[in-house]
Structure 1
Amino acid sequence: MSAINTKNNLRADCENCFALCCVGLHFAASVDFAVDKLAGTPCTNLRTDYRCGIHKELRQQGYKGCTVFECFGAGQKVSQVTFKGVSWRENPKIARDMFDVFPIMQELHEILSYLTEARTKEETLTIHKELSIAIEETEKLTRLSPDLLLALNIPEHRARMNTLLVKTSELVRKDKGSIGNKKKDRSRADLLGANLRGADLRGVNFRGAYLIAADLRKADMRYADFIGADFRDANLSGADLTGAIFLTQVQINSAKGDNQTKLPVTLMRPMHWI
């Protein structure tokens, strides 16, 4: 599969999904969800045509979490490929497997998204062959039968793929002259509510960092590595994230920003931003 086709298939296409995120997933009443919902139980706002009845008012009605979620295209893959276009409503016997396969597919597609991004970087030219092999291997896994998907060791596969992602991060950040600075490693750092307004964070390794509610207004975060970083309610107003590595739409959706925030060209400005 080409890089372009892979990229296009790694975005949610709700028109070709049987609302798997609205049914298969569990969520608890919180600031993100107005009510409790058990996994396998349709959301009370789900219509018979698999559309959300309050889609335009999700945040106003207490469903902020729904506006943040992104399945990386796993929903349509499970609906149309894994289960060949047969929905859980048409055949209730497959519902349990369909809902259990969905999060597995989501993880595989997220890994594919990172690998595909890595292969687009000029700095990773020396490992393009390895990345292409990894993409092909992961794509093949997404086309397995439900039984085989459920039997996959996802943590083991993710760990192997992560070796290439770490190498990608090193190559990109080294090329930008930042990797040699030990202060640039903030991986898994607890930066909850941190005041980083206007900070020079170019090329920083933020892998797995907690940036919840951090003040990142006007911060320079070009070419920083954000894989696995938690951006919930972080303020990115006026921040520059140009060239940021492994930054996802999910992370951006969960943060705050404005029309002065500079994003990588592959990401969209959330509608709820100022």
Structure 2
Amino acid sequence: MPASPADPAPALRADCSRCFALCCVALPFTASADFARDKNAGTPCPNLGGDHRCGIHDRLRPEGYSGCTVYDCFGAGQKVSQVTFGGRDWRTGGRAHARQMFDVFPVVRQLHELLHYLGEALALPAARPVHPELRRARERVEGLSLGTPEELAALDVGPLRQEVGMLLARGSELARAGLRGRRKDRRDADLVGARLKGADLRGVSLRGACLIAADLTGADLRGADLLGTDLRDADLTDADLTGTLFLTQPQLTAARGDEGTTLPASLTRPAHWTARS
């Protein structure tokens, strides 16, 4: 059975076995609650082995690298490693080759994230009026992701993100019509530490909202738009996330919850979430 757009196709799922650990080298770390130490972009993580595997993968959280457990490249790592650069890794290709790989990887990661969202929007029956535009956008983004290293390094993704974002917003409005009622949208709202226990947020747009450490226990988030919502350390215990729009696994992994949290079918319960006693 082919993968549905809401359940990302294999090309949009990270396959670390086919990647040269680009996220462990290309990206910078800042010492914080998410990372145990600073690391400059282009510098290999000290936990990275010569085989491109993490030496502490099974104990990242207790070692202070919870940020690594949240990150998802949406399959950009293996595309850059195996397609864009034809299987030539950053260790053996020389400094210029390595720099180019590290420049290209974040660009392709953004393109793959857009492909993920476009696929989800195309799976929404209510968004059918904008499906033709969504398909054209998906074809364009996919084509860009297959560009040469030089083309990708020079690509300004910002305008493309805005263009796709407008299409996704239209699809979201269509999908949420009739769900929101009189409830106010909270797009880009500052809700850090907000007390939203048991809140009725059905069909509400929380796109871009900051919900860090918010109390969402028992909240009804069915059909809510969570594109870009910051859910770090938000408490989703017993919350209902059925049918949420544009919620990703990294967002969920960054939050807290338990077996009482109701999830969309396409997402998995994070291993670190607590179980009921």
Residue in structure 2 matched with residue 131 of structure 1 by the alignment: 134
1:115 corresponds to 2:118? yes
1:56 maps to 58
Which residue number in structure 2 is paired with residue 143 of structure 1?
Answer: 146
Q: CA deviation at 1:3?
A: 6.7
Question: Are 1:25 and 1:40, in contact at CA under 8 Å, matched by a contact in 2?
Answer: yes
**What TM-score, normalized to structure 2?**
0.94
Contact 1:7/1:116 (<8 A) preserved: no
Deviation, structure 1 residue 199: 0.9
Aligned partner of 1:196 in structure 2 is: 196
Q: Deviations over 1:134-161 (max 9, x none)?
A: 1111000000001101111211111111
User: Is the CA contact (8 Å cut-off) linking 1:236 and 1:257 kept in structure 2?
Assistant: yes
Give the secondary structure class of the aligned counterpart of 2:91. coil
User: Are the aligned partners of 1:3 and 1:116 in contact in 2 as well (CA < 8 Å)?
Assistant: no
Identity %: 56
Secondary structure of the structure 2 residue equivalent to 1:9: helix
Match of 1:104 in 2: 107
**Match runs of 1:205-216 below 5 Å:** 205-216=205-216
Deviation by residue 1:19-47 (Cα, 9 ceiling, x = unmatched): 00001100111111111111111111101
AA paired with 2:203? G
Check the 8 A contact 1:206/1:226 in 2, yes or no: yes
Structure 2: state its 5+ residue gaps. Answer: none
Which residue of the other structure, out of 74, 79, 82, is the alignment partner of 1:80?
A: 82
Partner deviation per Cα, 1:33-81 (whole Å, 9 max, x = no partner): 1111111111111011111100111000100110111111111110011
Equivalent of 1:169 in 155, 172, 188? 172
Q: Please give the root-mean-square deviation of Cα atoms over the aligned residues, in Å.
A: 1.3
Matched, 1:35 2:37: yes
Q: Does residue 1:255 correspond to 2:255, yes or no?
A: yes
Of 41, 48, 52 in structure 2, the residue corresponding to residue 46 of structure 1 is 48
Question: SS where residue 9 of structure 2 aligns?
Answer: helix
Counterpart of 2:120, as a letter, is E
- Give the conservation status (yes or no) of the 8 Å contact 1:88–1:98: yes
Aligned length: 270
Q: 4+ residue stretches of structure 1 with deviation over 6 A?
A: none
User: Does the Cα contact within 8 Å between 1:17 and 1:76 map onto a contact in 2?
Assistant: yes
What's the offset of the Cα at 1:7?
Answer: 2.5
Encode CA deviations 1:180-235: one digit per residue, 9 max, x unaligned: 53x43100111100111111110111011000000001100000001111000000
Q: Which residue of 1 aligns with 2:73?
A: 71
Counterpart residue number, 1:246:
246
Q: Compared with structure 1, are the counterparts of its residues 205 and 69 closer, same or farther at alpha carbon in structure 2 (3 Å cutoff)?
A: same
Instruction: Give 1:186's aligned residue.
Output: 186
- Could you tell which deviates more after superposition, 29-38 or 5-14? 5-14
Task: Return the match for 1:14 from 8, 13, 16.
Answer: 16
Residues 125-134 or 37-46, more deviating:
125-134
